[in-house]
Amino acid sequence: METNRDTQAVAALSALAQEHRLALFRLLVQAGPDGLPAGAIADTLGIPASSLSFHLGHLNRAGLVSQTRRGRSLIYAADYGAMNALLGYLMENCCGGAECAAPSIQPERKTA
Residue-wise pLDDT tens digits, 53-69: 999 999 999 999 999 99
Instruction: Tell me how far apart the terminal alpha carbons of the chain are, to the nearest angstrom.
Output: 53
Residue 41 lies in a domain: yes
Please give the average per-residue pLDDT across 62-89, as a whole number: 95
Please list the alpha-helical segments (H only) found in the chain: 4-16, 19-31, 38-45, 49-61, 80-91
Amino acid 19: pLDDT: 96
Residue 99 lies in a domain: no
Tens-place pLDDT, residues 3-54:
899 999 999 999 999 999 999 999 999 999 999 999 999 999 999 999 999 9
> What is the residue range of 53's domain?
1-91
Amino acid 23: pLDDT: 97
CATH code for the domain of 87 = 1.10.10.10
Residue 109 lies in a domain: no
Alpha-carbon distance 56 to 38, whole Å? 9
Residue 24 lies in a domain: yes
Helix/strand/coil for 30: helix
Residue 74 lies in a domain: yes
Residue 4 lies in a domain: yes
Alpha-carbon distance 51 to 97, whole Å? 42
Residue 111 lies in a domain: no
Residue 17 lies in a domain: yes
